[in-house]
Structure 1
Amino acid sequence: MTEISNIPDKSDFAHVTEWVFDLDNTLYPHHVDLFSQIDVNMTGYVAALLGLSREEARTLQKRYYQDHGTTLKGLMLHHGIDPLDFLEKAHAIDYGVLAPDPALGEAIKALPGRKFIFTNGSVKHAEMTARALGILDHFDDIFDIVAAEYVPKPADATYDKFMALNRVDTARAAMFEDLPRNLLVPKALGMKTVLLMPRDESHEFTDAWEKRTDADVHIDYATSDLTGFLCRLIDR
């Protein structure tokens, strides 16, 4: 696989004043595995809705996720569900598995300019997650799936909506994400792109298509240590 640097060139980010972060598996590391709770809830929702076994429900759930960007979007398109009910049930999880991360908070706080959370989840989920990490107060805004009118990343229109709403200058922006396909549009818009990866790629992905490949030339940097990466960009 083509090598992508995990050590940022500080000069490469000297122009950045707009910092955009995905939420799950980005602002906390993959191995914390918070999202697995949501995954279980979504499987249960699909099973109950359609009268499927958990195995059948999970297969359908994952197909909708891959085809439509989120399980929610697939369920809305094919089954006309209430999205707010789905989000409430999917995010009924234990945030206690997250520990405060003061070092990450200080690094985000020290970044010059504005900071955003841009998530395919809900504002409530983002707030609960960021509050548990002790970093919520360092963000200027949260753009969620409701604000996106339930059209998830990686749809072009969703990035356009986020950028327009927050008047983001993409030539002065960087985006941090855990899914390679969600960085295609940011790169095309002129943003610096950083992929957050598991410590062990061979064991911590649930779906093969989520893994970085040689085709992902739109990724500028890849790291499994967000705090360490950001600390290299700020003056200490």
Structure 2
Amino acid sequence: MTFSVPIKRALQDFRQVETWVFDLDNTLYPPHSDLWPKIDARITAYMAALLGLDGMSARALQKHYYRVFGTTLSGLIHEYQVDPTEFLRFVHDIDRSSLDPNPALAAAIEALPGRKLILTNGSHAHALATAKQLGIDHLFDDCFAIEHGDFLPKPHLLTYQRFFERHAVDPARAAMFEDIVHNLEAPHASGMLTVLVKPKHGAEDFREAWEKHEGVPAHVDFATDDLVGFLAKIVS
């Protein structure tokens, strides 16, 4: 297990945690996986067909919406009132067979005491299919997907508040695992323990440049590039 920086809280602080919350994409599976590039390509194709744009123009607009609105879907809903159900069904219709099951991750999650939940900007169907491919779907009590937050994505505080209410989560007794730094701001402000899951040094990383962060800001309590090892250390 590698900590990117000296930890700011003691691992003993996790003893108070009764709800373990995990982001999905690039957190429960690593950012060098080809799943996100597959989804990304289908978003571009959807926008090109919807707006009659060439691939380069569609991709540029896609990335603009993603940066400004938090998800491309939010931008399309705001600007073009697209049907979010249709969009999510199309962009998450991918082959997940390249993602290997992760029995070590399954064992580490199973060993955590308390509830385990997924909180994702993806669809519920995508979360379930991906967790199943990883061999961890049976370990989670539920999933709060983008549709459960009325398509308002992380990092909006209201999305987390809706998540807390829907699942009766006490933030002071919960921990959030996430790969994007700014998605941990609201959880930290709400009282959650925050863990930034970073890619291993030198590993391929398909995330956007603005999603990556070299340092670890004050709202991040822990940072690790080894999720399995980190979880194992918590319960040891």
Amino acid at match of 1:159: Y
Alpha-carbon distance, 1:211 to partner? 1.6
Alpha-carbon distance, 1:4 to partner? 2.5
Write the distance in 2 (CA, Å) between the matches of 1:158 and 1:131: 25
Task: Report whether the alignment pairs 1:56 with 2:62.
Answer: no
Match of 1:121 in 2: 122
| Worse-matched range after superposition: 6-15 or 46-55 | 6-15
Kept after mapping to 1: 8 A contact 2:26/2:179:
yes
Write the distance in 1 (CA, Å) between the matches of 2:118 and 2:203: 28
Match of 1:164 in 2: 165
TM-score after normalising by structure 1: 0.93
- Once the two structures are superposed, the pairs formed by residues 81-92 of structure 1 within 5 Å of their partners are 81-92=82-93
Match of 2:187 in 1: 186
Unaligned 5+ segments in structure 1 are: none
Name the count of aligned residue pairs.
233
Write the distance in 2 (CA, Å) between the matches of 1:210 and 1:101: 25
Unaligned 5+ segments in structure 2 are: none
- Once the two structures are superposed, the pairs formed by residues 1-236 of structure 1 within 5 Å of their partners are 4-5=5-6, 9-200=10-201, 204-214=205-215, 216-235=217-236
| Worse-matched range after superposition: 209-218 or 87-96 | 209-218
Alpha-carbon distance, 1:99 to partner? 1.1
Alpha-carbon distance, 1:54 to partner? 1.0
| Worse-matched range after superposition: 198-207 or 47-56 | 198-207
Amino acid at match of 2:22: F
| Worse-matched range after superposition: 28-37 or 86-95 | 28-37
The structure-2 alpha-carbon separation of the partners of 1:203 and 1:96, relative to structure 1 and needing over 3 Å to count, comes to closer
The C-alpha deviation readout for 1:111-135, integer Å capped at 9, x for no partner, is 0111100001111100000000110
% same residue: 50
The structure-2 alpha-carbon separation of the partners of 1:162 and 1:175, relative to structure 1 and needing over 3 Å to count, comes to same
Kept after mapping to 2: 8 A contact 1:205/1:211:
no
Write the distance in 1 (CA, Å) between the matches of 2:89 and 2:176: 27
The C-alpha deviation readout for 1:100-120, integer Å capped at 9, x for no partner, is 111111111110111100001
Q: State the secondary structure of the residue aligned to 1:222.
A: strand
Q: State the secondary structure of the residue aligned to 1:32.
A: coil
Kept after mapping to 2: 8 A contact 1:143/1:162:
yes
Kept after mapping to 2: 8 A contact 1:20/1:117:
yes
Alpha-carbon distance, 1:6 to partner? 6.7
Alpha-carbon distance, 1:205 to partner? 4.7
Write the distance in 1 (CA, Å) between the matches of 2:210 and 2:141: 32
Write the distance in 2 (CA, Å) between the matches of 1:227 and 1:57: 37
